């Protein structure tokens, strides 16, 4: 499913101070580099887990109502809009037209309701805006980020087998507790 981040995270899940402590880096000369590594590590972990690690606003374009939404965990649905064949937008009302299934990361119907029947507009007929991200980042994901930050900080160019070992450690941390996320 196609989606885009409308409002990026306001803060990173690993602070500059925590990353510098992990790196044993003193001073401020490399703060910009370390800050960029934090962002890159978060983005990498989000791509690997297919989850939003910190609060951000996402706009998704499902093909049908009820499809699971990308980048969970979902926090709040902001709007649900669809376009009919004429391109006219219709907005659904939370609680009345749909309910939010946080467990399965999708919208569901209230009792005795049905999804709108319409001839879809050719391009992105359904648009759902929502916030997603953890209240508290799982420690395994945080550790994976710190491993990546440390590895990239020390190895500022491509590396051979050491890179594979780090990659495997990060993948293991990111998949270890997937069922509990």
Decide if pLDDT at 179 tops 70: no
CB atoms within 10 A of CB 116: 11
Return mean pLDDT, the chain: 90
64 pLDDT band, cuts 50/70/90, is confident
Judge contact between 120 and 83, C-beta under 8 A.
yes
87-105 burial, b at 16+ Cβ within 10 Å, e below that, comes to eeeeebeeeebbbbeeeeb
**Low-confidence winner among 28-32, 34-38, 92-96, 163-167 (lowest mean pLDDT):** 163-167
- Predicted TM-score (pTM) of the model is 0.84
For residues 75-95, give the mean pLDDT.
91
DSSP secondary structure of 127-162: EEEEEE--SS--HHHHHHHHHHHHHHHH--S--SHH
């Amino acid at each position: 499913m196609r989606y885009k981040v409308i409002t990026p995270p306001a803060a990173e899940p690993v602070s500059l101070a925590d990353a510098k402590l992990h790196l044993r880096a003193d001073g401020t000369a490399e703060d910009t580099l370390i800050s960029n590594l934090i962002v890159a590590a978060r983005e990498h972990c989000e791509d690997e887990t297919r989850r939003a690690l910190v609060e951000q606003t996402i706009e998704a374009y499902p093909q049908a109502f009820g499809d699971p939404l990308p980048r969970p965990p979902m926090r709040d649905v902001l709007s649900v809009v669809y376009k009919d064949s004429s391109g006219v937008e219709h907005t659904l009302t939370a609680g009345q037209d749909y309910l939010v299934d946080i467990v399965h990361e999708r919208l569901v119907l209230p009792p005795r309701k049905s999804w709108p029947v319409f001839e879809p507009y050719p391009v992105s007929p359904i648009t759902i805006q929502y916030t997603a991200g953890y209240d508290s980042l799982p420690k395994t994901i945080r550790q994976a980020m710190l491993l990546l930050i440390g590895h990239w900080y020390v190895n500022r160019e491509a590396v051979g087998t050491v890179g594979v070992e780090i990659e495997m450690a990060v993948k293991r941390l990111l998949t270890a507790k997937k069922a509990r996320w």
